[in-house]
Amino acid sequence: MSQMTVARAIARPARAPRTAPPPRQRARLRVVDAAPTTQSHTGFVVLCIALVVAGLLGALLLNTARAESSFTLSDLRKEQTVLHDTRVTLEAELSAKRSPETLAVEAERLGLVPSPSTAVLRLSDNTVLGVAASVDVDDSFTVVTPFVSEADSDVTRIEEGIEGAVQGG
């Protein structure tokens, strides 16, 4: 035997009988996300900015509409005051034209004379109360009204003005 043979025989240990290796347990598989990436927040930021801008524009529009309504209301109040003053003036003028003194002056100017007796028509039962007597032109009297000047005959103009002021105001 050669030395190599001897060395080889010594270097080789005795083998144990081969047995089947124990069965390996398989590793459990699971789904793994890809490498995490940083998400961009630009969409959310743009949405927030858009909401803030829309809110500010809405507040601006509401404030502008309110200011415009305030000016309109002020103009309408001024117009109402003018119409009220006109109505009061016209009613006072009409009251002066309808006063007994003014009517007496106008009647005298037109050549009318007072009646010595009067007759009244009651509309509820259509009866005439009293007797109307004729007037003698020579037997007339004059009504003196020292505080009233000669009145204008435009009572209808005043009444139309009051009607217009009442309908317009």
- Per-residue pLDDT of 86-110, as tens digits, reads 999 999 999 998 988 888 888 888 8
Q: Which of 44-48, 66-70, 124-128 has the lowest mean pLDDT?
A: 124-128
Taking each helix axis from N to C terminus, what angle separates 42-98 and 155-168, rounded to the nearest 10 degrees?
160
Taking the complete model, does pTM exceed 0.75, yes or no? no
Amino acid type, 109 = R
The overall average pLDDT reported for the chain is 79
CB 147 within 8 A of CB 123: no
CB 102 within 8 A of CB 153: no
**What gap in Å lies between CA 52 and CA 48, rounded to an integer?**
6
The pLDDT > 90 percentage for the chain reads 33
Residue of higher predicted confidence among 38 and 108: 108
Q: Where are the domains of the chain?
A: 52-99+153-169
Which residues, at least 6 apart from 93, have a Cβ–Cβ distance to it below 8 Å?
158
